[in-house]
Structure 1
Amino acid sequence: MNNARKVLWLALIVLLTAALSGCGGSGQAQKVKIGEVTRSVFYAPQYVALEKGFFKEEGLDVELQTTAGGDKTMTALLSGAIDVALVGAETSIYVYQQGSEDPVINFAQLTQTDGTFLVARDAGEFDWEKLKGSVFLGQRKGGMPQMAGEFTLRKHGIDPHQDLELIQNVDFANITAAFVSGTGQFVQLFEPQASIVEKEGKGHVVASFGTESGRLPYTVFMTKQSYMKDRPEVVQKFTNAVHKAQLWVQAHTPEGIAETVAPYFKDTDMDILVSSIKRYKEQGSYAETPALSEDSWNNLLDVMESAGELNERVDVGELVDNSFADKAVNSVK
């Protein structure tokens, strides 16, 4: 009888231990909230990481929300409403310039070029000189799309504030509609909007700002320095999942990628998704590694300086931590 009781007690202890380990510790997925600056096919590797279960493989329970705009995304990050932001690296510099005691650190790059295209209303042979004297429907002042656009225009001898009429008072979500309705002779658009405008015969893609402006840490996963210090294992797992997705995207066709990310773009035709992803793949917009290079960071500073948005140059080591990216590249194959 005593032996039977001992066996029963041992069985109860084993069951209780298993239950406790399942309720916490390594057995429980760690929650991470991402705020993306917008929903865009430009961020295809992020949706691949979610759809293919790469975050889950790393033991993370990721919740994605669209925070609509760089300022709102950064406010959500700084307030603790989200843990990780997917936004342009320039936002971390803006926070740094304001003297933040808890700076925002870039730890995993997702896109490495500008994602916009120059769309002309009229067909015909294109020359940058045609922009002089035109009405140009641009992007928000201080944002990376507009700064990369102005940087490109200056490279071609065009002063964006003197040589053309620059419109910047249209909300991001309404830029395409404004162009289609007749505003501007040229417009700067992301995909899939550029492909949609072409398909509808309302405009023609004539140049890529991504190709023209060079390598940039354009869209980056970042978090507060305090979060990084408190949860380094979470940041590492997150970066591992991002790199898995990057490798997957590099190894698959635009068609395969489009099929995978389609649930995030239910209102977009498959042929438009394929066309958009193909353009981004061909110009190397999707980063092959989560690490940010010093050259691309310095190019970002040049772009911001040219736009008059940089108070002082910030060394890459101040706001970039590549240690997680380096470990991911060495461990994920």
Structure 2
Amino acid sequence: MARTAIKALSALSTALIVGVAAVSTPALAAGKKVTISQAFQSMLYLPLYVAIDGGFFEKQGLDVDKQTAGSPSAALSAVLSGSADFSLHGPEWTAVAAEKGADVDVIANVVNGAAVWIAVAPDVKFSGIKDVKGQVVVAGQMPTTSTSLFFKLLKENGMSQSDVKLVQVPLGSEIGPLVAGQSKIAVMYEPGLDQAVAKGMKVVLGFPKLYGEYAFSSISAKRSVDPDAAARFVKGLQNALVYMQGHPAQTAAIARKEFPTLDPVVVDAAVKRMLDEGVYPRNVGITPKALTVAMDTQIALGNLKQQPNYDRFIVQSYIQPALAAK
């Protein structure tokens, strides 16, 4: 399975190279237009939506156009081609591209926990990961971090992919085989996880608690990005993250607006879980530990040769002023 991820990431890299500190913060000069390309419309990316819908970017004088690329590779390609100023996806895509020579780095944190969980049918007895041996497990199609983390956990516990009967399905559809009884174990993201819980499934393992700080999703930009726009963007995002921690009800309301077809109960539960478990970070900073843990997963899978240089790859010139602002 890892080879699929390696080929996808390597192909992307080659193609890319060639081819509220306070809510009352006064607005800056309004109207600077920027574009962000997100991999997907995802509940994981709620900090971005809070920053847009809550007016935090507007208070920084930015007019942010959000575009959905459909994949991490397409989102990053938009940045490197110049059709977007920023992209939002897992930082491993940026790290692989940078390792191949692309002039792109990470400028802000968006998701700081390994936002993956294992859910099981109500009759399954689960005392630890070794209980999945010989079982049918449904997970997202590779390359995806959820399945990559599952493989990593198996390896850490002396098992391999061959120890389970893995059924890979399109991302977001993991709940189908689980609820239908085709599999009694699923590796899931939100909001699928709380959709499954609403149907009687139980959560038995959370990767956020297992791994702690984990640079899961972040904002990437070219080194030649407009520094003024980038500084405003990171500060707006920082203010949104602070707001989310102090206003969970209002944060959930924005999530319901962004995902109107989902059951509001599921949306509220998913937002609460990700706030409680530290998936949504308290600030835009990315620690060396968070980056190392995340990139170790990619190195173990063969997608990345070595850890990126933290001091160069994580652009503190945007992060630190945003953290210091009051």
User: In structure 2, the residue corresponding to 1:137 is in which secondary structure?
Assistant: strand
Distance 1:64 1:58 in 2: 16
Once the two structures are superposed, residues 171-204 of structure 1 have per-residue CA deviations (whole angstroms, 9 ceiling, x without a partner) of 2243333443444332111111111122123x32
Distance 2:93 2:126 in 1: 33
Residues 114 and 285 of structure 1 are in contact (CA less than 8 Å); yes or no, is this contact kept in structure 2?
Answer: yes
Larger radius of gyration: 1
Pairing partner for 1:280 from 274, 289, 295: 274
Q: In terms of mean alpha carbon deviation, does 29-38 or 52-61 score higher? A: 29-38
RMSD: 1.9
Shift of 1:162: 2.4
Residues 142 and 309 of structure 1 are in contact (CA less than 8 Å); yes or no, is this contact kept in structure 2?
Answer: no
The residue identity in structure 1 corresponding to 2:294 is L
Residue in structure 1 matched with residue 12 of structure 2 by the alignment? none
Match runs of 1:245-324 below 5 Å: 245-253=240-248, 255-324=249-318
Residues 210 and 285 of structure 1 are in contact (CA less than 8 Å); yes or no, is this contact kept in structure 2?
Answer: yes
Distance 1:149 1:296 in 2: 18
Shift of 1:208: 0.9
The residue identity in structure 1 corresponding to 2:223 is Q
Q: In terms of mean alpha carbon deviation, does 127-136 or 84-93 score higher? A: 127-136
TM-score (norm 2): 0.85
Residue in structure 2 matched with residue 185 of structure 1 by the alignment? 184
Gaps of 5+ in 2: 1-27
Shift of 1:57: 0.6
Shift of 1:220: 0.3
Pairing partner for 1:233 from 228, 231, 234: 228
Pairing partner for 1:221 from 219, 222, 228: 219
Cα gap change, 1:324/1:132 in structure 2, threshold over 3 Å: closer, same or farther? same
Match runs of 1:194-213 below 5 Å: 194-201=193-200, 203-213=201-211
Shift of 1:256: 2.8
Match runs of 1:21-32 below 5 Å: 27-32=29-34
Shift of 1:28: 4.7
User: In structure 1, the residue corresponding to 2:70 is in which secondary structure?
Assistant: coil
Shift of 1:69: 1.7
Shift of 1:278: 1.1
Distance 1:257 1:322 in 2: 27
Once the two structures are superposed, residues 66-111 of structure 1 have per-residue CA deviations (whole angstroms, 9 ceiling, x without a partner) of 22221222222222232211100101112123332xx221000011
Distance 2:69 2:209 in 1: 27
Residues 30 and 60 of structure 2 are in contact (CA less than 8 Å); yes or no, is this contact kept in structure 1?
Answer: no
User: In structure 2, the residue corresponding to 1:217 is in which secondary structure?
Assistant: strand
Q: In terms of mean alpha carbon deviation, does 124-133 or 47-56 score higher? A: 124-133
Distance 2:100 2:33 in 1: 30
Residue in structure 2 matched with residue 73 of structure 1 by the alignment? 75
User: In structure 1, the residue corresponding to 2:107 is in which secondary structure?
Assistant: strand
Shift of 1:27: 4.7
Aligned residues: 298
TM-score (norm 1): 0.83
Residues 137 and 184 of structure 1 are in contact (CA less than 8 Å); yes or no, is this contact kept in structure 2?
Answer: yes
Residues 113 and 215 of structure 1 are in contact (CA less than 8 Å); yes or no, is this contact kept in structure 2?
Answer: yes
User: In structure 2, the residue corresponding to 1:61 is in which secondary structure?
Assistant: strand
Residues 124 and 184 of structure 2 are in contact (CA less than 8 Å); yes or no, is this contact kept in structure 1?
Answer: no
